[in-house]
């Protein structure tokens, strides 16, 4: 029960606030994107959520037509919230691509892939030869034991 002058404790779960929608539209304008640039489809979700998600199309799939970037969001049980979240994720991706962060991310992933890749036979031989030289150097540093004479 809400008394006069008090705010309700529970806010509506299925709606996105007007401030958040307005901020999303402003961000779209800053990035130079229009509503017509997006292709949006609604798909049935999978995973937890029970019968509700199996019967309704709450999963949102958005594609930015000019760039070809796409996002699929089924985080919440509400289609309106998933729609908002998918748009926000897609705007993040587009912003990263425009600023060149996406290419840096690809370079980082490629670097990790190269590091994990199996070494060629020649590279392996070269590395082992270097390790052998290093171990010989270390053996020369070891202390020399003196033999005690009992004369």
d(CA 126, CA 124): 5
Contacts of 37 (CB under 8 A, 6+ apart): 64, 65, 66
Q: At what angle do helices 18-31 and 79-99 cross, to 10 degrees?
A: 30
Whether residues 126 and 58 fall in one domain:
no
Whether residues 86 and 39 fall in one domain:
yes
User: How buried is residue 84: exposed, middle or buried, by Cβ count under 10 Å (0-12/13-18/19+)?
Assistant: buried
The parent domain of residue 119 ranges over 110-137
Q: Per the confidence metrics, is the pTM higher than 0.75?
A: no
Whether residues 131 and 60 fall in one domain:
no
**What pLDDT, in 10s, does the model give residues 12-46?**
445 788 899 999 999 999 988 888 999 999 988 77
**What pLDDT, in 10s, does the model give residues 38-55?**
999 998 877 776 777 678
Whether residues 46 and 91 fall in one domain:
yes
Whether residues 93 and 119 fall in one domain:
no
**pLDDT at position 10:** 39
Indicate the number of domains in the chain: 2
What is the average pLDDT score of the chain? Answer: 83
Whether residues 92 and 121 fall in one domain:
no
Whether residues 61 and 119 fall in one domain:
no
Whether residues 27 and 93 fall in one domain:
yes
Whether residues 27 and 70 fall in one domain:
yes
Residue 144 domain-assigned? no
């Amino acid at each position: 029960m809400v008394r006069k002058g008090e705010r309700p404790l529970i806010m509506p779960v299925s709606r996105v606030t007007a401030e958040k929608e307005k901020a999303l539209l402003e961000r779209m304008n800053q990035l130079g994107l229009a509503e017509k640039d997006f292709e949006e489809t609604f798909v049935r979700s999978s995973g937890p959520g029970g019968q509700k998600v199996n019967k309704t199309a709450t999963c949102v799939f958005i594609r930015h037509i000019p760039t070809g970037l796409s996002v699929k969001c089924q985080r919440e049980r509400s289609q309106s919230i998933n729609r908002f979240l998918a748009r926000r994720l897609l705007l993040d991706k587009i912003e990263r691509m425009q600023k060149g962060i996406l290419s840096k991310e690809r370079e980082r992933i490629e670097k990790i892939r190269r590091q994990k890749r199996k070494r060629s036979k020649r590279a392996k031989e070269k590395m082992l030869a270097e390790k052998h030289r290093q171990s010989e150097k270390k053996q020369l540093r070891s202390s020399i034991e003196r033999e005690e004479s009992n004369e």
